[in-house]
Structure 1
Amino acid sequence: MSSFRLATLATLAALLAGCGMHHPMRTGGSLQTGPAGEVTAVAHLRTPEGRPGGTVRMTETSQGVLVVAQVEGLGSPGPRGFHIHTAGNCRPSTDASGRMVPFGAAEGHFDPGESGRHGPPAQPPTQSHAGDMPNLPVQADGRGSLSILNPNITLGPGPRSAMGRSVVVHDKPDDLRSQPAGDSGARVLCGVIVPA
């Protein structure tokens, strides 16, 4: 195992060890928590054709939500735009010009701070979308992975909750500045965030 992967795993373990108290999500009367009592969620990613494309797992910590993405089948290597979108809906939809957009029903980036601006990840929620995350690196075999702690979202009830929203992977890198979505191209993977 590479030293980078070991360091990442050690960091994740330290974050989870210091989780503290959390707000559990209630669904159907039962608590949706992990073995240590933390709130957890998952998004099973699919291509526009419905093929599996990986998973995004989320764990709420005292510092924010730990997001761990594993994707596959993306063809060419390179960084890809990776965002939480407002609606928990991965159906196609038409844009303002009437053109059909894969996963268009996911709507725009999740913006509970009403910033109205796309930007680098982990900015204060009044300065950029809470759903803006770093580019997801994809290797030559079409697989990619990313771990990030997003301090601007939660999994429990409330306006900052990502639960029930969607995760979208794009076909180009996010330039972290172009409005409204970082010029990251077509939506190639989508999954709805549900209790794990």
Structure 2
Amino acid sequence: VGTITGVKAGDTHAFHVHETGDCSAPDGTSAGPHFNPGDHAHGQPDQGEHHLGDMPNQVADDSGTLKVDVTIAGATLRDGGPNDLIGRAFIVHAQPDDYTSQPSGNAGARIACGVIQ
């Protein structure tokens, strides 16, 4: 569960878990590609195989706040296994994910980055 403020009211944004928990680059590229331990094609999280880091698009409310509450099936926390999300990056993209374009859903620029702890 998380809250992100400062986006345009009503805009839809893609969310992804990325490989590396490094948000040092201003454009978010230091976070690397989508987290994909299963080596699957990018896709919609509730429809067949997809990157483990693929999550549903989120819509900002009237105040420009994104309230995110997602469950990532198959992901783990703090077990040190291949699907562990701890230490990975959480990226907000400028545009919605089309769930089709490879490798990242044509989601646009990375506008926010955080490290999962």
Which residue of structure 1 lines up, in the alignment, with residue 44 of structure 2? 120
Which segments of 5 or more consecutive residues in structure 1 lack a partner in the other structure?
1-67, 93-100
Deviation of 1:140 (Å): 3.0
Which residue of structure 1 lines up, in the alignment, with residue 19 of structure 2? 86
| Pick aligned residue for 1:181 from 84, 104, 110 | 104
* Change in CA separation of 1:186 and 1:110 when aligned onto 2, cut-off 3 Å: same
Q: In structure 2, how many angstroms separate the alpha carbons of the residues matched to 1:88 and 1:80?
A: 20
| Cα-to-partner distance string for 1:29-59 (whole Å, 9 max, x where unaligned) | xxxxxxxxxxxxxxxxxxxxxxxxxxxxxxx
Contact 2:34 2:54 in 1 (8 A): yes
Greater RCO (Cα-Cα under 8 Å, separation 6 or more) = 2
Over 3 Å off, 4+ runs = none
Deviation of 1:123 (Å): 4.8
Task: Provide TM-score, normalisation by structure 2.
Answer: 0.91
Which segments of 5 or more consecutive residues in structure 2 lack a partner in the other structure?
none
Residues 1:139 and 2:64 are matched in the alignment: no
Which residue of structure 1 lines up, in the alignment, with residue 7 of structure 2? 74
Which residue of structure 2 lines up, in the alignment, with residue 60 of structure 1? none
Contact 1:91 1:105 in 2 (8 A): yes
Deviation of 1:165 (Å): 0.5
SS at match of 1:148: coil
Residues 1:163 and 2:86 are matched in the alignment: yes
SS at match of 2:30: helix
For the aligned residue pairs, the C-alpha RMSD in angstroms reads 1.5
Q: Which protein has the larger Cα radius of gyration, Structure 1 or Structure 2?
A: 1
SS at match of 1:149: coil
- Identity in percent: 39
